[in-house]
Structure 1
Amino acid sequence: MTKVLIYTTTVCPYCNAAKNLFKSLNVEYEEINLDSDSDLRAKLSAENNGWRTVPMIFIDGKFIGGFDDANKLHKEGKLLNLLGKN
């Protein structure tokens, strides 16, 4: 089964949009809130080419970007393939 991991913060409309996208596709995901873990957020940024915004979305351990990136993949018909749903 494909694992989706979404790093979020509480007041982030893009985080909510990302979660809603995966819910609409009936894809389960794990959410990790970064509000109180600035060290983890800094580590994730350093490991992913300096990416600093949330959400940070990973599919099977591979960083795909944020909501705009996931939504673009979905509109191009590529997200379902990454999720093993096609």
Structure 2
Amino acid sequence: MMPKVVMYVSGFCPYCTMAEKLLRTRGVEEIDKIRVDLDPEQRVEMINKTGRRTVPQIFIGPTHVGGYDDLAQLDRQGEVTKLLAG
């Protein structure tokens, strides 16, 4: 069973779109997207969880992957597939 994928996003965010596309190419069908631009409390939660202010912030299961650049680097190393395998 694939772990839950959670992504903090905002409405217009090309990096969020690229992250979602990459995850979908790796077989992720469901992404729980949390819109921080619509709910300031969610932005505060994201900052407290990650220490970062930018979106996207991506979690695969309990693992904080980081933003799009972090996700892409992990993907090049084959680590995204391992994280998604559980």
- Identity across aligned pairs (percent)? 38
Number of the residue aligned with 1:20: 21
- Structure 1 residue 37 corresponds to structure 2 residue 39: yes
Instruction: Give the distance between the partners of 1:7 and 1:46, measured in 2 at CA.
Output: 13
Between Structure 1 and Structure 2, the one with more helix by share is 2
Structure 1 stretches (4+) deviating beyond 3 angstroms?
none
CA RMSD of aligned residues (A): 1.4
- The alignment's TM-score, normalised by the length of structure 2, stands at 0.88
Q: How many residues align?
A: 84
Instruction: Give the distance between the partners of 1:42 and 1:58, measured in 2 at CA.
Output: 16
SS at match of 1:83: helix
SS at match of 2:73: helix
Q: Can you list the C-alpha shifts for 1:14-58, whole angstroms capped at 9, x where unaligned?
A: 00000010111121222122221112111220222x200000100
SS at match of 1:10: coil
- 1:62 CA drift (Å): 2.2
Matched AA of 1:55: P
Match of 2:49 among 47, 50, 53: 47
- The alignment's TM-score, normalised by the length of structure 1, stands at 0.88
Give ranges in structure 2 of 5+ residues lacking alignment. none
Number of the residue aligned with 2:66: 65
- 1:4 CA drift (Å): 0.6
Instruction: Give the distance between the partners of 1:14 and 1:34, measured in 2 at CA.
Output: 14
